[in-house]
Amino acid sequence: MRGHISAHAVCTAIRDEIVCGVLPPGSRLVEDLLAARYGVSRVPVREALRTLRSEGFVTIRDHAGACVAELTDQEAADLLDIRAALEPLGAARAAARRGSAHLKVLRGLVRLGREQARRGHAADLRQLDGWFHETLAQAAGSPSLTAPLTQLRRKIEWMYVIEAPPRVTASWDEHAAVLDAVVRRDAERARALMAAHIARSLPVYRLRRHAPVVSGPKRPDNTARTRA
C-alpha cells in the first residue's frame, strides 16, 4: 500500500539525492515517477516539492514543471557570505539560550571530534562537524534562525567540495573554544570565535562542478542509481 511515508520523509529523501548529486541541477522532477520511486501517492511528493522550492533546491519552470535548481557561481558564493554572517549570530544566541541537553551533546561531539582528529580518522570528521554546527544552531533556541542555518549547510554541501584536507586538529580546537564560550554564556566571545573559525575554513572550499543534464532517451527523468 502507498501513503505510509510522510511528505517530510519524501522531502528528506529528495533533498539528500539533490545534495549528493544523484539528481543533478536541471533534472526534471516528475511527480508520478517520484511517487513510484518512493512508493507513495503524488500528494506527499507534491508537498515535498513545494517545501524544496521554498528552500531553494527546486524551481518550477513554465511548460517543464519542477526541476532541480541551478545556482549561478555568484549565488553559490553568496551562500558562504550568508553563513559568515549568520553562524556567529547563532553562536552568540546559543551562548545566551543553550540548555543542558545541548551542552551535553556538544561536549560529546567535541570530545569525539578531537579524538578522531588525533587518530587521523578524517572520513568521520565531516559528519561530526555538521552535527556540531547543527546542534549549536538548535541551541540558539530560535527556529527562525535554526532553519536557515540548517538549509545553508545543506546548500553549501551541495554546491561545494572541500579539496584540501581540512585543518582537522586546529578546527576541533576551535570548536572546543566556541563551546567553552557557550558554556560560560559569553555571547560576544562565542560570536567572535565562530567568525574566526569560519574565516579560517573558507580557503578549502571549491565550487562543485555538477555533471550536465543530458537530454534524450539515454537519460530518462528521475532514473538514478539505487542508494545502498
191-207 average pLDDT score? 94
Q: According to the model, what pLDDT value does residue 38 have?
A: 92
The pLDDT confidence band at residue 166, using thresholds 50, 70 and 90, is low
Grid coordinates of 101: 541537553
The pLDDT confidence band at residue 211, using thresholds 50, 70 and 90, is low
pLDDT higher than threshold 80 for residue 110: yes
Q: According to the model, what pLDDT value does residue 164 have?
A: 67
223 assigned to some structural domain? no
Query: Within 13 Å and on the Cβ side, how many CA atoms surround 39?
Result: 4
pTM: 0.81
- Distance set, CA 196 to CA 47, 87, 106, 187, 192 (Å): 39, 11, 19, 14, 6
Domain range for residue 50?
Answer: 7-68
pLDDT higher than threshold 70 for residue 228: no
35 assigned to some structural domain? yes
12 and 57 part of one domain:
yes
Total domain count, the chain: 2
20 and 115 part of one domain:
no
183-204 average pLDDT score? 96
pLDDT in tens, 76-90: 999 999 999 999 999
Residue that is written with C-alpha cell 586538529 in the block: 169
115 and 182 part of one domain:
yes
Grid coordinates of 82: 550568508
